[in-house]
């Protein structure tokens, strides 16, 4: 399985839905779930390929905070009406109902993150006909729990467990306060697994997925706001391969999935480190907490660099070097070193020389000479 190779270049830009006078959210164009009727959907998509290097905007960005407290629950219920019918577990909803939904369109798949207070819901035949049925919904319970009633059976799905649901089947459920990350899985993308998935969807199915899929789902949730339009197809291909590997549990598939996990975690960590190079608290503990992994897994992620601390030092040294090149005048070595966390000047000079085969002062002098070159000036003016 190939690595997703995603780029995290800036903070996620959230597209807020506009509100009708009646409180319903309005979006750019209709979102079509796999093999469903586009005229039935109230969701939105902004899957625009005009600039492949721009980040994908969320097709859905809904937050009840945009509504008056007395209107919040009704706004949420209306937003979800075609997917499922919801009812609050609060005795009174006039005091407000907190819910936030963010969704991204890939190619044939969608990814949606739900955060909300507790509520009950049911998916009827009406919902099935309106929203389409030729896909499954894979949910990872990040926080909270859900109790399902399906074909007369009661199923429990707890925090850090999976729920796979066929969208052909009506069901009822009660969710606690929490957060859920969901993926639509088009049947056409999982040929050969239809019978297995349909069987899983009628059982307590957490044991059917390899634990690697938990890490992947969490990483995917964090990466999507930074994904470029040109990367969407690669993300979907990687996700399909990961799910296939983690449900089959074949040794070769799991090994490939494990490598993809490491690559994805490194990509996430790298961007986090690069954005926080000047933060004094940046260290292995902070990166570990950000990735939410064990110390052993963190070492695996950075094994090529002999650990995360060495990688952080390397990135800080390179940032210093670039600063000398771009700001040859007006910045002394001591100030640049301190900016990137090097308080021991002797140690900084030693590490800098080991990495770049020159002293910091020599790098600054070289930058000053380069600035006099007309060729260098033309390159930097482009």
pLDDT along the chain (382 residues), means of 10: 34 34 37 37 43 82 92 84 59 78 93 91 66 79 88 83 83 89 92 80 70 89 89 90 76 56 77 91 90 83 88 92 70 86 91 87 74 47 44
Query: Matching CATH topology for 18-271 and 284-381?
Result: no
Cα 40 to Cα 133: distance, rounded to the nearest angstrom: 13
Cα 160 to Cα 143: distance, rounded to the nearest angstrom: 7
At residue 192, the pLDDT reads 77
Query: CATH classification of 284-381, choosing from 1.10.260, 1.10.1240, 3.30.1540, 1.10.10?
Result: 1.10.10
Q: Which residue has the tokens 């549990």?
A: 249
Domain ranges of the chain: 18-271, 284-381
Cα 176 to Cα 103: distance, rounded to the nearest angstrom: 21
Write out the two tokens for 276. 């926080």
- As a whole number of Å, the end-to-end CA separation of the chain is 37
**pTM for the full predicted model:** 0.57
Q: Which residue has the tokens 């507790």?
A: 118
Specify whether the CB–CB gap between 312 and 269 falls below 8 A: no
Specify whether the CB–CB gap between 117 and 97 falls below 8 A: yes
At residue 30, the pLDDT reads 34
What burial letters (b/e) apply to 137-170, b meaning 16+ CB within 10 Å?
bbbbbbebbbebebeeeebebeeebbbbbbbeeb
Q: What angle do CA 320, 325, 327 make, to 5 degrees?
A: 85
CATH T-level assignment (fold) for domain 18-271: Jelly Rolls (2.60.120)
Specify whether the CB–CB gap between 163 and 139 falls below 8 A: yes
Beta-bridge partner residues of 104: 111
């Amino acid at each position: 399985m190939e690595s997703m190779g995603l780029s995290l270049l800036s903070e996620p830009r959230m597209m807020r839905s506009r509100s009708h006078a009646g409180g319903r959210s309005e979006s750019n164009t209709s979102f079509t779930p796999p093999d469903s009727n586009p005229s039935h959907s109230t969701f939105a998509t902004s899957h625009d390929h005009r600039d492949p290097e721009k980040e994908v905007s969320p097709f859905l960005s809904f937050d009840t905070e945009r509504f008056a407290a007395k209107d919040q629950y009704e706004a949420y219920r209306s937003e979800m009406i075609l997917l499922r019918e919801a009812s609050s577990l609060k005795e009174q909803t006039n005091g407000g109902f907190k819910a936030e939904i963010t969704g991204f369109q890939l190619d044939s798949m969608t990814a949606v993150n739900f955060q909300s207070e507790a509520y009950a819901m049911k998916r009827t035949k009406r919902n099935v006909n309106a929203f389409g049925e030729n896909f499954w919904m894979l949910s990872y319970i990040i926080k909270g729990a859900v109790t399902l009633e399906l074909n007369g059976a009661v199923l429990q799905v707890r925090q850090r467990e999976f729920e796979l649901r066929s969208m052909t089947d009506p069901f009822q459920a009660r969710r606690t306060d929490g957060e859920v990350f969901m993926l639509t899985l088009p049947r056409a993308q999982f040929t050969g697994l239809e019978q297995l998935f349909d069987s899983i969807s009628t059982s307590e199915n957490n044991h059917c997925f390899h634990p690697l899929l938990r890490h992947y789902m969490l990483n995917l949730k964090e990466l999507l706001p930074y994904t470029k339009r040109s990367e969407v197809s690669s993300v979907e291909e990687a996700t399909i391969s990961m799910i296939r590997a983690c449900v089959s549990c074949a040794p070769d598939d799991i090994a490939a999935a494990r490598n993809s996990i490491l690559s994805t975690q490194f990509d996430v960590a790298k961007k986090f480190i690069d954005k926080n190079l000047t933060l004094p608290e940046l260290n292995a503990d902070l990166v570990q907490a950000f990735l939410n992994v064990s110390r052993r897994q963190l070492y695996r992620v950075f094994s090529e660099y002999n650990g995360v601390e060495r990688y952080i030092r390397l990135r800080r040294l390179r940032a210093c070097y670039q600063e000398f090149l771009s700001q040859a005048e007006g910045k002394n070595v001591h100030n640049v070193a301190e900016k990137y966390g090097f308080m021991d000047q002797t140690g900084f000079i030693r590490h800098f020389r080991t990495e770049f085969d020159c002293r910091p002062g020599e790098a600054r002098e070289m930058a000053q000479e380069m600035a006099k070159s007309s060729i260098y000036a033309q390159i930097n003016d482009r």
